[in-house]
Amino acid sequence: MAEKGLFFQNIIALIWDFDRTLSPHYMQKPLFKAYDVDEELFWTEVNALPAYYARAGIEVNSDTCYLGHLLSYVRHGRFPDLTNARLRGLGRTIEFFPGIPGLFDRLAAILDTPEFRIGDLRIELEQYVVSTGLVEMIRGSRIADRLSGIYASAFIEEPAAPGTDLNRTPPSGPISQIAGFLDNTTKTRALFEINKGVNKHTGISVNDAIPESERRVPFRNMIYIADGPSDIPCFSVVKKHGGLTYAVHAAESNEQFAQVVRLHETGRVHMYGSADYRIGSATDMWLQLQLRKIATRIIEERGKAFESQVGRGPVHLAEETKETQP
């Protein structure tokens, strides 16, 4: 580890997918319940949209076309008065797998010990969600205050009309436009933003050329946790660059279990386990073990770098003693 550089590289990042990883359901489930909308029908319609629009020669993104369909439900009165604030409020009712959010606190506590400090430098943990879901619902959820960043899809409420005074705060109202989105491929951009420090330092772009040895969070300091084949682009990027990957499955699902086993057999992930994050579960123990191993490696490398930069001064040598002849 270089003694001098842009960053100390003392950050470990745990990067989480959300749906079916942290929560057993799609995060939008509370939205459908609140407005008494048929959730199964909504997703059936979404799955049919690519073929529907293709008849007009329009290609839509199958990962994100649900966002536009959700706005159609707003326009047609199925989700009346759905604002970003309302989405945040609904986020508070998202269900999580057992052990969440407690796991977040236990993992952070591991590094809050003298073992993982060297001089004034301490190893720090940052946890992120990178999801194709809704940023406002994640911001409203019970894990939001444990996160260092959220990458997800967002909505505009009232778009700026021509001639709008752009120095004032936009007015509020029902969501009406997509502000930005992530799909299963562009999620990898979020990984590089975390890697380079774009999310924490202005003046750095994700397209800037920064040597890996100078980046804020090297990939080998990352663990990416997700649930399925849709996460293969992120699994591949993290694993290729030296990070760790872990796939989870619902404990009672044979289908999901078979899916993560295939990910492991094809080399996509280092390990897999049940989405049970309670103390003593296999997933809990694996994450704790790997976190400690990464932190220990950082401390050891930091110590070696320190020693290599210090020119030791002369010391007094012990006086030689002559052997006594018998």
Q: pLDDT (tens digit, 9 = 90+) per residue, 88-120?
A: 999 999 999 999 999 999 999 999 988 888 777
Mean pLDDT of the 30-55 span: 97
Task: Report cis status (omega within 30 of 0) of the bond before 174.
Answer: no
Q: Is residue 33 part of a domain?
A: no
10 Å CB burial of residue 105 (0-12, 13-18, 19+) is exposed
Strand 149-156 relative to strand 177-180: parallel, antiparallel, unpaired?
A: antiparallel
Q: 312 pLDDT band (50/70/90 cuts)?
A: low
> Six-digit token pair at 222?
């990352």
Would you state the pLDDT for residue 320?
Answer: 56
Q: Is residue 185 part of a domain?
A: yes
- The CATH number for 220's domain is 3.40.50.1000
Please state, in angstroms and rounded to a whole number, the distance separating the CA atoms of residues 43 and 80. 19
Closest CA to 69 of 229, 35, 61, 185: 61
Is-above-0.85 flag for pTM? yes
Would you state the pLDDT for residue 1?
Answer: 39
Other beta carbons less than 10 A from residue 207's beta carbon: 9
Mean pLDDT of the 269-285 span: 98
DSSP string, 250-283: -TT-HHHHHHHHHHHHTTS-SEEEES--STTSHH
**3-class DSSP state for residue 237?**
helix
Close Cβ partners of 178 (under 8 Å, ≥ 6 residues apart): 67, 68, 71, 153, 154, 155, 156
Other beta carbons less than 10 A from residue 116's beta carbon: 21
Mean pLDDT of the 130-157 span: 97
Would you state the pLDDT for residue 51?
Answer: 97
Q: 3 pLDDT band (50/70/90 cuts)?
A: very low
Q: Is residue 61 part of a domain?
A: no
Q: Is residue 77 part of a domain?
A: no
- Asked if pLDDT for residue 8 goes beyond 70, the answer is yes
Please state, in angstroms and rounded to a whole number, the distance separating the CA atoms of residues 180 and 198. 17
Would you state the pLDDT for residue 129?
Answer: 98
299-309 in b/e form (b: 16+ CB < 10 A) is: beebeeeeeee
Cα separation values, 170 from 67, 75, 80, 135, Å: 21, 20, 20, 18
Q: Which helix (H) or strand (E) holds 224?
A: strand 222-226
Query: 121 or 243: whose pLDDT is higher?
Result: 243
Range of the domain at 122: 11-25+96-161+170-307
Please state, in angstroms and rounded to a whole number, the distance separating the CA atoms of residues 314 and 294. 35
Close Cβ partners of 266 (under 8 Å, ≥ 6 residues apart): none
Average pLDDT, the chain: 91
Q: Which residue has the tokens 């920064």?
A: 210
Question: Considering its fold, how many domains does the chain have in total?
Answer: 1
Q: pLDDT (tens digit, 9 = 90+) per residue, 264-275?
A: 999 999 999 999
Would you state the pLDDT for residue 318?
Answer: 62
Would you state the pLDDT for residue 61?
Answer: 94
Please state, in angstroms and rounded to a whole number, the distance separating the CA atoms of residues 326 and 321. 15
Closest CA to 142 of 130, 152, 124, 129: 129
- Asked if pLDDT for residue 326 goes beyond 70, the answer is no
Mean pLDDT of the 229-240 span: 95
Q: Is residue 60 part of a domain?
A: no
Query: 157 or 205: whose pLDDT is higher?
Result: 157
Q: Is residue 282 part of a domain?
A: yes
Q: Is residue 216 part of a domain?
A: yes
Residue 324: left (phi > 0), alpha (psi -120 to 50), or beta? Answer: beta
Strand 124-134 relative to strand 117-118: parallel, antiparallel, unpaired?
A: unpaired
- Calculate what percentage of the chain has a pLDDT beyond 70: 90
Query: 324 or 17: whose pLDDT is higher?
Result: 17
Q: Is residue 39 part of a domain?
A: no
